[in-house]
Amino acid sequence: MVLRTGIGQKALLSAIAAAGLLVGCGGGGSDINISPVTSDNSVDNSSTTNAPVETVNPCASYVNEAGQTLQGEFNSPNCSYPVSFADAGNNVTTDLTIPALESGGAHMFDGSLFIGEAHSNDAELTAAGIAEGGDGPQLTIEAGATLAFKSRLQFVIINRGSTIFAVGTAAEPITFTSFSDVEGTVAYNAVQQWGGMVINGFGVSNKCSYTGTRGAPGFAKTGECNIAAEGAEGLDESYYGGDNDADSSGRMEYVVVKHTGAEVGNGDELNGISFGGVGSNTIVKNLQTYSTYDDGIEMFGGAVNFENFAAVYVRDDSIDIDEGYIGTITNALVIQASDDGNHCIEADGIGSYSSKTNAQIDDFIARGLNSAPTIKNLTCIISPNATGTHDPGAGWRLREGIEPVIHDSLVISSFIADADAADTDGNYCFRPQSYGTSVTADGVIMACQDNFKDDGATVAAANDMQFATLTAGVATDPTATADTGLVIVEGAKKLSSVALATALVDDAAPTITAAGTDATYIGAITDGVTNPYEGWTVGIFEADAEPLWFE
């Protein structure tokens, strides 16, 4: 054992030792008086040069129902979270904050991250005190944070009643991605590296039964409305649906979701984000889905609104609508890959449509239970591929009793150089179909190999839409570098719309009239100065991004 003493203590011990020597040497047994030695112990003069520096663990933590504090392990610069922290069947049932990490660190989850509990019936919801968003736990994610998931089986669920507050900035967006992306071992266009996100709310879905007219007094569900969400099975279960279109599932701003679409436990291939019954008091602004195997975003009923949505390299439908969705999408930019991607929009009005009679469809429409989205300032740059992962690249497929209103939007494709490889039936721009479907469109320009399908020509003639004629067998891009008769979007990573006053469609000024407050431009990026997508999205505007196929 080592006894550490201060300098004053050492002096005292030395004096005592000296006194002993003097006593031993003194004659006649005479006493020797030693003046007392004082020491100042108020100052610690011990050396701390080699003391270890204590590291503060910056990883997320919470207290579980058993009273245990669970926290991630910090391995600079990342935080690691085992399945004991969170996973399917090990849902987080209290508030959780995930901070931003320094030096580009990421939160690495071995398991799924499910916030709140899943309840399959009204009795469970009542017992748990869950009636609307905010009753359950809240997931808060700080600006600049990155969350990564280990494998194809992991995904994120925000259960009904729970909320997500992921509020990034243009300078510090929030990213959901895969281990492989963080580790730098994934290609820019790789998909199915992990599952994706599922957000559930209490909004209306026309797969449930209701009395009265949507939005009017007295409207209510009859019976229960608990619909199994995508991926739901066993420990992965979650549910959506209700009669509250004003429900809130939280707030997402400047969020990027990458490399999703893996098949999870029940066989579902997840979307970038599935919004099940998500209500209008949920705020979603500046959201990107990037390199997604299935759909970019899909809305199953509800009324959530979107502003500045970007979908890049989505292999199925970039925007998918079903089950009575009535929200508004303001500004959306869709860019498919050169050789993959299906619809820019696939939108259905009524779930389980084929099982209903015309009278039932009429009743749904009369009571506002069908999908009736509003879409403003959309730019779709669709792939001319004929044999993509799911189906050929295409524009808008609007069907099954839907009533969309679409303003000031563009759909642009091209002919591929080899005319023999062109799929002139699949690469269409506009396809309205099915009994009960009614489209209102103004300020719309489209240019595809096959402009119309089904009732497209008739519906287009009744609306403010203009269609360009592309030259078969000639490689054309949407930025007018190959076909100077089609001048509607600027190239070289600008992607901003050309002002209608100087635009050309078939070598002539457009005949459409923009309907919005600014009648100068149409499309998602309405001038060359203000670009709502630059600085936070990936794969489009940064100088080191993979070249877009039409550049």
Of the listed ranges 72-86, 113-127, 159-173, 488-502, the one predicted with least confidence:
488-502
- Specify the DSSP element, H or E, that contains 486: strand 486-487
Q: Report pLDDT digits (tens) over 290-306.
A: 999 999 999 999 999 99
| pLDDT band, residue 33 (cuts 50/70/90) | very low
What is the C-alpha to C-alpha distance for residues 138 and 141, in angstroms, rounded to an integer? Answer: 10
Determine if the peptide bond prior to 173 is cis (ω within 30°): no
Is the pLDDT at 341 greater than 80, yes or no?
Answer: yes
Amino acid 67 reads G
Name which residue leads in pLDDT, 32 or 405: 405
C-alpha pair distances (Å), 252 with each of 1, 140, 195, 331, 462: 59, 10, 19, 16, 37
Q: What is the pLDDT of residue 426?
A: 75
Q: What is the pLDDT of residue 434?
A: 97
Name which residue leads in pLDDT, 264 or 176: 176
What is the C-alpha to C-alpha distance for residues 348 and 301, in angstroms, rounded to an integer? Answer: 10
Per domain, the residue ranges of the chain are 90-461
Which residues, 6 or more positions from 249, have their beta carbon under 8 angstroms from its beta carbon? 133, 158, 162, 163, 164, 199, 200, 201, 278, 279, 282, 304
| pLDDT band, residue 413 (cuts 50/70/90) | confident
The per-residue b/e assignment along 343-358, b for 16 or more CB within 10 angstroms, e otherwise, is bbbbbbbbbebeebee
Name which residue leads in pLDDT, 26 or 248: 248
Q: What is the pLDDT of residue 232?
A: 87
Is the pLDDT at 484 greater than 90, yes or no?
Answer: no
Q: What is the pLDDT of residue 47?
A: 46
Is the pLDDT at 507 greater than 80, yes or no?
Answer: yes
Neighbour tally for 485: CB within 10 Å: 15
Averaged pLDDT, 251-276: 93
For residue 384, which of 362, 351, 346, 417 has the smallest C-alpha distance?
417
Q: What is the pLDDT of residue 187?
A: 93
Is the pLDDT at 27 greater than 90, yes or no?
Answer: no
Is the pLDDT at 425 greater than 70, yes or no?
Answer: no
| pLDDT band, residue 551 (cuts 50/70/90) | low
Q: What is the pLDDT of residue 38?
A: 37
Which residues, 6 or more positions from 122, have their beta carbon under 8 angstroms from its beta carbon? 224, 226
Is the pLDDT at 420 greater than 80, yes or no?
Answer: no
Which residue(s) pair with 347 in the sheet?
321, 398
Averaged pLDDT, 123-140: 98
What is the C-alpha to C-alpha distance for residues 336 and 315, in angstroms, rounded to an integer? Answer: 8
| pLDDT band, residue 266 (cuts 50/70/90) | confident
Q: Is 11 in contact with 39 (CB distance < 8 Å)?
A: yes
Name which residue leads in pLDDT, 5 or 107: 107
Q: Report pLDDT digits (tens) over 459-475.
A: 999 999 999 887 666 65
Query: In this structure, what token pair is assigned to residue 418?
Result: 């080899």
Averaged pLDDT, 366-387: 93
Averaged pLDDT, 210-216: 98
Of the listed ranges 355-369, 385-399, 490-504, 525-539, the one predicted with least confidence:
490-504
Averaged pLDDT, 197-223: 97
Q: Is 500 in contact with 507 (CB distance < 8 Å)?
A: no
Does residue 451 sit in helix, strand or coil? strand
Which residues, 6 or more positions from 67, have their beta carbon under 8 angstroms from its beta carbon? none
Of the listed ranges 227-231, 396-400, 454-458, 479-483, the one predicted with least confidence:
479-483
Question: DSSP readout, 153-203?
Answer: T--EEE-TT-EEEEE--SSS-EEEEEHHHHTT-S-TT---SS--EEEE-S-
Amino acid 261 reads G
Averaged pLDDT, 268-291: 96
- The listed range with the strongest mean pLDDT (163-172, 512-521, 541-550) is 163-172
Query: In this structure, what token pair is assigned to residue 468?
Result: 């360009």
Share of the chain above pLDDT 90, in %: 69
Of the listed ranges 14-28, 108-122, 287-301, the one predicted with least confidence:
14-28
Q: What is the pLDDT of residue 15?
A: 38
Q: What is the pLDDT of residue 520?
A: 87
